[in-house]
Amino acid sequence: MADVNWTALTIFIALFGFITWLGFAAAHWRKGDLDLLHEWGLGGRRFGTIVTWFLVGGDLYTAYTFIAVPALAFGAGAIAFFAVPYTIVIYPILFLAFPRLWYVCHKHQYITAADFVRGRFGNRWLALAVTITGIVATMPYIALQLVGLQVVIGAMGVSGSGYAGDLPLVIAFIILAAFTYSSGLRAPASIAIVKDILIYITAFAAVIVVPIQLGGFGKIFSAVPPAKLLLAAPPANSTGAYGIYATLALGSALALFLYPHSLTGILSASSGHAIRRNAAMLPGYSFMLGLLALVGFFALAAGVGSLPEFAGGFKQFGNNFAVPALYLHSFPAWFVGIAFAAIGIGALVPAAIMSIAAANLYTRNIHREFINKNPTDKQEAQMAKWVSLIVKFGALVFIVFVPSQYAIYMQLLGGILIIQTLPSVLLGVYTRWFNDWALLVGWAVGTAAGTWMFVAANLTPNFPLAIGGHTFPDYTALYTVILNLVVTIVLTPVFNELGGRQSDATVAADYYA
Amino acid sequence: MSQQSTGRENQHSKWSWWYLLFLIQFVAVLWPPFYNSVEPSWAGIPFFYWYQLLWVIIGAILTAIVYFATDD
């Protein structure tokens, strides 16, 4: 770790320089008035099928994903592959529900999920719950992108003692903050195109070159310990690893498009058709993610974990070092530079979109709703720009001063929290049957139960639920969203009886073309 | 707007039987006992892995079929 890999570092910096220029130049792309919030924060809703594909792909399949999923395969084996069924089942959900959400948001100029909930259910406190959940779930996600960046910077031998070691990270983040501030969503949209091409090159190179070096897939898989190769068969009276695998996949899929940054990507599309087409095209990324999960096994087979030159990296970054170590081991330095730049830039794209999404939420659903009810368009856009800076700065402070393990815990909890907005957002797209106060109580119960189960399960997302001698160690998010729904359904007639209902600002025709 | 575009509204507001195609992929990938095995392996890749990767492709094709069948 002591030696800086200059060739890799030079290429890394050159590519970073290029996307920095691109990020600023993007302000002039499909030019719009960046003093309007929907221009800055949604790119003017003008992205067609192809740009949406790059943007949403770059947004959902993050740098952290590309480091952490192979790292999980490297450390825990088959369970890491849950990312594949997860990213298979999200697309029917995207296809069916989200064009409806796009149409209603387009019609009413909504730019966040909370805007929609405010209009649909007429309850500012329910909208506030959706807003706060979104911001809380997004913050650690931004911090995790920095973990991905940290790992590749460290892997190139750039290190320093104390806080000086974080200097490259701080520089990368200032760049990110500056072009997001000036160009809004256009910056990550244009950079996503470069980033995704680099990521595809990096992934396919690994999947072709490394198996040839190691003597074929047969040899690679025979090097994987049998216990890691498949899911453990469940013991009697328990759903075991099967239940964990399937519920993690399903629960994560239900949660994914409720995240503010996913919705920002979707709402920036130019039409509902663009979203439907993308539901068939985005699995391209899922396939690559599956291949990258296998790269974790390549790293096992190549034995990078026991090579002395990587000992320092594994000590510092744990299994997250598996992928960088494999690239350093298997490829010439110039290609390592490209691969690491792909991962590093891959961190900036989602981080930019997440900070924009959080800024849109604060500006629209907290500031405008509770503090300054009649801002000018310019004031509103300016507020969002400032908030995007604050959000990113907060994530940076978090990652520099707090052990990264806490960001990982918070992100796992974030999935459990964000799914609690499913009844009001995802089901709200289909039905107005629920009472707004019942939804709020359901949300509160789901959030409290989810947080308690997460803590009770020692900060893991799987809670061993025991029912009549059977154990279901499944994904907490799924349990608690069901609880949330049951509470909401039971309380809806009660609250309707007590206080009547708010009016719905949307009509049925708003939900399709 | 709501009165003139009735024809198109029906395209997207109503249930389509084509949507049932989506169910296939849910069942195929969310039931691990189906595929949690090494054999039949393909090119040295255990069944568990190539089966799920194959379903990424099948899922995309099914989605494309539903898109073309329901969109105009």
At A163, the pLDDT band (50, 70, 90 cuts) reads low
Size of interface A-B (CB pairs under 8 A): 123
Yes or no, beta carbons of A241 and B33 under 8 Å apart: no
pLDDT score recorded for residue B4: 40
DSSP characters for A408-475? HHHHHHHHHHHGGGHHHHTTTTT---S-HHHHHHHHHHHHHHHHHHHHHTTS-SEEEEEETTEEEEEE
Yes or no, beta carbons of B29 and A81 under 8 Å apart: no
Q: How many domains does chain B have?
A: 1
Q: Which residues of A touch B32 (CB under 8 A)?
A: 231, 241-242, 245-246
pLDDT score recorded for residue B8: 45
Q: CA of B44 to nearest chain A CA: how many angstroms apart?
A: 4
The partner residues of A475 in beta bridges, in order of sequence, read A462
pLDDT score recorded for residue A445: 96
Residue B33 forms part of a structural domain: yes
pLDDT score recorded for residue B2: 38
Q: CA of A292 to nearest chain B CA: how many angstroms apart?
A: 11
- Whether residue A203 has pLDDT greater than 50: yes
* Cis before A308 (ω within 30): no
* Least confident stretch, A27-36, A284-293, A315-324: A27-36
* Least confident stretch, A48-62, A100-114, B5-19, B49-63: B5-19
Residue B56 forms part of a structural domain: yes
A454 Cβ contact list (under 8 Å, min separation 6): A412, A413, A416, A460, A461, A463, A476
Residue B13 forms part of a structural domain: no
DSSP characters for A17-33? HHHHHHHHHGGGTT---
pTM attached to this predicted model: 0.90
* Least confident stretch, A62-66, A282-286, A315-319, A377-381: A62-66
Residue A86 forms part of a structural domain: yes
pLDDT score recorded for residue A236: 79
Percentage, residues of chain A above pLDDT 70: 98
pLDDT score recorded for residue A510: 84
Residue A255 forms part of a structural domain: yes
Exposure string of A249-266, with b = 16+ CB inside 10 Å and e = fewer, is bbbbbbbbbbbbbbbbbb
Label residue A403 exposed, middle or buried (CB < 10 Å: 0-12, 13-18, 19+). exposed
Residue A1 forms part of a structural domain: no
pLDDT, tens only, A247-263: 988 999 999 999 999 99
The domain of A344 spans: 6-511
Q: CA of A362 to nearest chain B CA: how many angstroms apart?
A: 32
A161 or A80: which leads in pLDDT: A80
Residue B9 forms part of a structural domain: no
Stretch A195-208: mean pLDDT, rounded? 89
pLDDT, tens only, B1-58: 333 444 444 445 567 888 888 888 899 989 988 888 888 988 888 999 999 999 999 9
Yes or no, beta carbons of B33 and A242 under 8 Å apart: yes
At A160, the pLDDT band (50, 70, 90 cuts) reads low
Residue B11 forms part of a structural domain: no
The domain of B48 spans: 21-70
Q: How many domains does chain A have?
A: 1
Say if residues A331 and A209 touch (Cβ distance below 8 Å): yes
Yes or no, beta carbons of A87 and B56 under 8 Å apart: yes
Stretch A137-153: mean pLDDT, rounded? 86
CATH of residue A436: 1.20.1730.10
- Chain B contact probe: residue of A53, A84, A88, A252 with most B CBs at under 10 A: A88
Q: CA of B40 to nearest chain A CA: how many angstroms apart?
A: 13
Yes or no, beta carbons of B30 and A249 under 8 Å apart: yes
pLDDT score recorded for residue A308: 85
pLDDT score recorded for residue B72: 64
Q: What is the ipTM of this complex?
A: 0.86
Q: Which residues of A touch B64 (CB under 8 A)?
A: 280
